[in-house]
């Protein structure tokens, strides 16, 4: 299957997302039509029916796995400062001698 915008959004985890989405490609017939287009062999009708029934029965678990995948992707990463945070009333680190809030921390310079 070719990359989708979802797969591109998954970045380095694209292969895992494609693996998770495979049951949907199977259930919608995309896998079969892609195999036919590429003239690849496809499973027997009995095997296809068995696998389709299995995927339909496990659909709630498949959806939960995809939800968990995206939930883990959006978990924010905590970044650590290499230096202590400058307080509004501390001297500005630029060396001007002004308070941070009146120098580099002023709303005009932060936006």
The DSSP annotation for 76-103 comes to PPPPPPSSPPPPTTSBPTTSSSSBGGGT
Judged against a pLDDT cut of 70, whether residue 3 lies above it is answered with no
What was the pLDDT predicted at 73?
Answer: 82
Question: What is the tens place of the pLDDT at every residue in 25-70?
Answer: 999 999 999 999 999 999 999 999 999 999 999 999 999 999 999 9
Judged against a pLDDT cut of 80, whether residue 7 lies above it is answered with no
Reference 86, options 70, 109, 60, 104; nearest CA is 104
68-97 average pLDDT score: 86
What was the pLDDT predicted at 14?
Answer: 87
68-93 average pLDDT score: 85
């Amino acid at each position: 299957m070719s990359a989708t915008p979802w797969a591109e959004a998954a970045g380095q985890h694209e292969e895992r997302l494609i693996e998770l989405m495979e049951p949907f490609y199977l259930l919608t017939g995309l896998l079969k039509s892609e195999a036919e287009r590429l003239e690849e062999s496809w499973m027997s009708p009995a095997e296809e029916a068995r696998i389709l029934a299995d995927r339909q029965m496990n659909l709630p678990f498949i959806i939960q796995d995809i939800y968990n995948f995206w939930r883990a992707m959006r978990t924010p990463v905590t970044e650590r400062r290499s230096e202590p945070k400058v307080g509004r009333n501390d001297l500005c680190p630029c060396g001007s001698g002004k308070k941070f809030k009146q120098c580099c921390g002023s709303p005009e310079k932060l936006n």
